[in-house]
Structure 1
Amino acid sequence: MVRPAFSSIVQVRIGAAKLPDDIALMLVDGWVDQGMNVPAAFRLTFRDPDHLVLGKLGVKFGTRVVITPVADGQGVGKPLLTGEVTAMEADYDGTGSYTVIRGYDFGHRMVRQRRVAAYRNQKASDIARKLAAMDGVSIGRIQPTKGTYGFISQSNVTDWDFLARLADENNMVMSVDAKGKFRFVKPNPSAGAPSPQTDGDKSAFVLQARHDIKRLRAAVTAADQVGKVESRGWNVTTKKKITEVAPATTDPGISIGSTPGEAAGKFKTAKLVETANPYDKQDEVRHAAQALAADVTSSFAELEIAVTGSPDLRPGVPVALSDVGKPFEGKYTVTSVRHHFGDSEPYQSWVTVSGRQWRSLYGLASGGGGGAADPASALRLPSVANALVTDVQDPLKQGRVKLQFPWLDDTYVSDWARSVQLGGKGGGGVFPMDVGDEVLVAFDRGALDHPFVIGGLYNGRDLPTKVNDVPLHDGLKKQATRHTLSDRQGNRVDLLSQRTGMRKQGVRIASGNDKLTINLDRTKTEITVDSKGSVSITGSRSVSVEAGMDLTLEGRRSVTVKSGGPLLLQGRGLVNLKSMAGTVNVSAMGALLMNATGAMTLTATGLVSVTSVANVNIKAIKVDLMGAVFVNTIKYPLPA
């Protein structure tokens, strides 16, 4: 089959109608610029000495435009682009006055605003379908992707940039087709191109020297080529590093007389390690390594060709290059194409095969280079920022929280973010936060998806716990006098580092209402427990209180010592039971035994009475009774 030849004439539809003949004759130049993973752009230039074109055509912002080449002898061919007007210009130079109409395909709608959003448990293909529909772009072919994102953030970037990142991570390409429908599909490998031995007359996908090639620049390079690449991350759950190594020896978009692996193998073995992005899971580092390998190998060969124009040449299409010599002959996947037509030159297609650097007009206008196709180009947050806690019900009970960033968006809520704690295996400590707390957040390598809570912040409404008797600083010494750790109710530990009035240095533990205080006085080496209520000391087994010198137990009303078993009061010296006012009563439910290894003396300034409901038995070698004695009964014989 002989491929059709296209003239320099194109059919342009503005709105629903094609150009009137008189306006069509005024079209002197135009181009359509298409690139992989970027919206296609167009420009139409009319010679317009009377400035009538815009008015006659009714051109306004958003006017629909369809550009279609015309095949010689076969009429209108396949459309190049379906888009809409985004700019209008008037141009004047020495050759005359011109009116210029510019625009993009419908993909530009996806770059018109930035979005902050979170996506949970969704595939990249599901997100792509959702965002295209939200931006008013008709859905074409969307191939399902495999992996599911547990949580991923769109961090104040355009929908197009965000989907370009997802496309890169999932080995997909996105575009808007000639009919204006959004596509999210797997890239076509160069192996799908015809054989380079195919005659260029038979296929538009065979680019043949001395046939339809007008200009050619082909190159291969060993620069930046490595034998393998590695991506690294950290698995929080397993507390282990995660790594993935991928070979960087071939590229599916290039099949020629040499390979990236051959170029790299001629020099010292090298490995490129990617650490710019935080990864949590093994499949994430695997996709990252594969994407990095593709990024490196895609820059091995470059091709720039001007050929006879054909609307079949589009980004992502595999083509064959023939009759240009080795190692350049072979198969390539097209990266970008610029279709140019005019009244003074034939229709040409300028084909580019390159790495993932943007070579299209849109890429240049948007900064190009490592643009949206690079995951690392997502908006970075390289500093710290404040946030509000929205959820504290951490299922892992590790003090994690969910966050909202009022300065960024009103609806975005993060995934569970780890907070800085006194971490350690089986130890440390957890100081949980509350909903509504303002906190300071840092971002792992600037990624919004990976925040860490550094600590809480005070503000005009959330104030520190008041400690009325000890200020934070000594104004004269210009030193801190107190360091306090407190909960929400004011229960606290005060580290008193400076003397302030009657307050000594040391540690103080106090309840929120200051009715219970424990002081560790560094100056006196003294421990004081002060309670406005009761103090209870309980031991399930034994309680021991020991003093190196004196031990004093004092009750302003009564002191009670109870024992569930024997009670022993023992002293190495004098044991003294004294009542300053009142009676000393010693009673026993059973026998009362008083023993002394020496003399025992009962002395009273008044009456001493010994009374028993039974007998009273006094035994001694000798009993002396002095004074008046009344004896009821004397038993004999007395002991010898």
Structure 2
Amino acid sequence: MNDIQQLSVEESLHLPAAFTIVIENPYYSDESPWRHDDYFTLGQTIRIGFQASTTADQEFSEPTMNYLIHGEITGIESRFSAESQAPIIVRGYDTSHRLHRGRHNRSFQDYTDSDIVAEIAAQVGLEIGQLDDSGDPRAYVFQENQTNMEFLRYRAARLGFELFVRDGQLYFRRPTADDQLSLKWLQDFGSFQVRVTTAEQVSGVEVRAWDYVGKQAIVSTAQSEETLTESEYGKGSTITADFGLASDPPKAYVVDKPVESAKEADAIAQALFNELGGEFTVADAQAEGNPDIRAGRVATLEDMGQYDGEYYITETRHLYYNRRYTTEFAVRGLRGGNLLGDLMMQPRLRPGQTFLVGIVTNNQDPEDMGRVRVRFPTLSPQADGSGHESNWARVVAIGAGSDRGFQCLPEIEDEVLVGFEHGDIHRPYILGNVWNGEDAPPDTVEDAVNRGKVRLRTLRTRTGHQLQFVEEDYNDSQAGISLETAGGAQVSLNDSTGTITIETPNGHRLSFSDSQGAIKMQSSGGHEISLNDAMQILSIRSTGSLSLQATTSVDIQAIGPITLRGAMVNSFPPPNQPPF
């Protein structure tokens, strides 16, 4: 202990706990010149603790050790001086540093966030200290080239949870006011700097997103912050009315983060409100060495007038230097986790710099350029989105050009994906329509896909006109192309049977069959003309009478016999001609 020049342990609810040890290491010219050289190796586990500076109470007559960190050595330094000194500097972190090593690309399907934390913790060898229930499983979560810590902090931030390691165990929990301690100014701590500020304080937080299953906006509003730090100044959300803003109190909005449910939106809104509310009161303090002052504990501070109250400790620094032990602590709320930053892990984009969901409101372009206007349900506080109708948006179309292209304008109330030229929201483009839980595709997956291959492609209009491309036989449909109008007229090009069929809504039918070598024309009443190459027959059949007329002559020839059958066979000359 006499050779330790400096020892510090820094704890944080938002960063790995870190330790630094500086050890005197003089050089002696003998067989063992370095006294401490073999005591420290990279990767070695270490526990560091302190005893309280004040131990006059008989309760502390026996030495007791409160370990502050269960860590691992990650770095060793030395400085060789001209005075025959080579002090050793040992650095390391608690075991959460393992979560910072390496990046991963992987998916988690049907996992709760708590399940994800437990699985990753097991992979890096971390024990679980506390694992709060995070709610329902999520269908799909992807870790996108992130360290485990980046990924888990993002998951925690969306829930308003804390993620930290204490005493070698991982905690994934809601901020909790347990393990309270009381501290008095000038008795238990000396220096105390506190700031109460209305900056960033709002009356509420609103999260807006799009539910494509229900084809409706998801709107969630948090009305009151839930913070563990509170002095006699109260909460920041109640102060905004003092600035003449009572009629229109300021709110914070999150409009650019997809969420899956109203429940998830509730959690994000509350978490962000808690973070902003935590900025209302921040503080820094210094005390005599006290190992009971730990990150994650609530300290009740007394004898400071209107600053008396409960303060949630988020950071501590225990320092042994020049044979004196001191403790510093800080109150920072959730800002160390910075949900606002975590929600915007990439550079924050304005709405126009990303894609938005749009609902078509107008498709009658006054300039005949095929443009439409949309509303943005995730941006508008109005239920119908009327407050945020877009500028006229050009529609991306197949083969668009001078008097050509596939013209298929979106219908009113269609859901579309909107992009923006150079990220300018004033220059929108419709990239395409999308289906949702209310507007289903024209065919079911069972009909359209067989053994993983798409066998059916359909183009269907609003009234029911339909063009289908069928790749293979399945159920009632066969390979080929079919065209059908909403009124029932049909054209079928059937590759499986080698036929072409045209049929009217009332049943008139014309068919061409390669397999039968026949052409057949039928009326709905049963009249029929049939040409059969295989049987070498041309057949004309009528359910009523049959009339054959010519303006000049009729020539009937046969190599074989000609047969006429009927109840009576009559032969008449043309008008004004003598009989045979």
Q: Is the contact between residue 23 and residue 89 of structure 2 (CA under 8 Å) also seen in structure 1? A: yes
**In structure 2, C-alpha distance between the alignment counterparts of 1:229 and 1:169, rounded to whole Å:** 14
Partner residue, 1:69:
50
Q: Which structure's CA Rg is the greater one?
A: 1
**In structure 2, C-alpha distance between the alignment counterparts of 1:380 and 1:435, rounded to whole Å:** 42
Stretches of structure 1 lacking an aligned partner (at least 5 in a row):
1-23, 195-204, 359-367, 385-418, 439-484, 494-507, 519-527, 546-552, 604-640
**In structure 1, C-alpha distance between the alignment counterparts of 2:19 and 2:578, rounded to whole Å:** 124
Change (3 A) 1:333 1:147: farther
Q: Secondary structure at the match of 1:121?
A: coil
Q: Is the contact between residue 38 and residue 175 of structure 1 (CA under 8 Å) also seen in structure 2? A: yes
1:52 Cα deviation after fit: 2.9
**In structure 1, C-alpha distance between the alignment counterparts of 2:310 and 2:338, rounded to whole Å:** 25
1:341 Cα deviation after fit: 1.4
**In structure 2, C-alpha distance between the alignment counterparts of 1:311 and 1:274, rounded to whole Å:** 40
Counting aligned pairs with the same residue, the percent is 20
Partner residue, 1:44:
21
Partner residue, 1:119:
108
Partner residue, 2:215:
239
1:374 aligns with 2:342: yes
**In structure 2, C-alpha distance between the alignment counterparts of 1:167 and 1:155, rounded to whole Å:** 16
Q: Is the contact between residue 527 and residue 541 of structure 2 (CA under 8 Å) also seen in structure 1? A: no
Letter in 2 for 1:566: G
Partner residue, 1:341:
320
Q: Secondary structure at the match of 1:162?
A: helix
Partner residue, 1:186:
174
**In structure 2, C-alpha distance between the alignment counterparts of 1:539 and 1:99, rounded to whole Å:** 102
Deviations 1:281-320 (A, max 9, x none): 1211111111121122111111111222222222211112
Letter in 1 for 2:288: T
1:541 Cα deviation after fit: 2.7
Letter in 2 for 1:67: I
1:217 aligns with 2:193: yes
1:55 aligns with 2:37: yes
**In structure 2, C-alpha distance between the alignment counterparts of 1:532 and 1:316, rounded to whole Å:** 82
1:531 Cα deviation after fit: 6.5
**In structure 1, C-alpha distance between the alignment counterparts of 2:70 and 2:449, rounded to whole Å:** 54
Stretches of structure 2 lacking an aligned partner (at least 5 in a row):
28-32, 56-60, 356-431, 455-467, 473-478, 482-490, 502-510
1:562 Cα deviation after fit: 2.2
Partner residue, 1:173:
162
Change (3 A) 1:559 1:314: same
Deviations 1:239-289 (A, max 9, x none): 111111111455234344231122222233112111232112121111111
Give the aligned CA root-mean-square deviation in angstroms: 4.6
**In structure 2, C-alpha distance between the alignment counterparts of 1:351 and 1:90, rounded to whole Å:** 29
Change (3 A) 1:28 1:277: same
1:27 aligns with 2:7: no
Partner residue, 1:282:
262
Change (3 A) 1:425 1:159: closer
Change (3 A) 1:425 1:149: closer
Letter in 2 for 1:185: R
Deviations 1:122-150 (A, max 9, x none): 33333322221121112333333433323
Change (3 A) 1:49 1:427: closer
Q: Is the contact between residue 272 and residue 339 of structure 2 (CA under 8 Å) also seen in structure 1? A: no
1:270 aligns with 2:259: no
**In structure 2, C-alpha distance between the alignment counterparts of 1:94 and 1:256, rounded to whole Å:** 57
Q: How many residues align?
A: 447
Letter in 1 for 2:121: A
1:488 Cα deviation after fit: 5.9
Q: Is the contact between residue 422 and residue 428 of structure 1 (CA under 8 Å) also seen in structure 2? A: no
Change (3 A) 1:183 1:150: same
Partner residue, 2:120:
131
1:316 to 292, 296, 301: 296
1:427 Cα deviation after fit: 7.2
1:98 Cα deviation after fit: 2.2
Deviations 1:203-230 (A, max 9, x none): xx33333233332221111111111111
**In structure 2, C-alpha distance between the alignment counterparts of 1:539 and 1:238, rounded to whole Å:** 48
TM-score normalized by the length of structure 1: 0.59
Change (3 A) 1:590 1:260: farther
**In structure 2, C-alpha distance between the alignment counterparts of 1:430 and 1:131, rounded to whole Å:** 38
Q: Is the contact between residue 25 and residue 36 of structure 2 (CA under 8 Å) also seen in structure 1? A: no
Q: Secondary structure at the match of 2:172?
A: strand
TM-score normalized by the length of structure 2: 0.64
Q: Is the contact between residue 157 and residue 378 of structure 1 (CA under 8 Å) also seen in structure 2? A: no
2:140 to 125, 129, 151: 151
Q: Is the contact between residue 510 and residue 517 of structure 1 (CA under 8 Å) also seen in structure 2? A: yes
Q: Secondary structure at the match of 1:348?
A: strand
Letter in 2 for 1:374: D
Q: Is the contact between residue 207 and residue 322 of structure 1 (CA under 8 Å) also seen in structure 2? A: yes
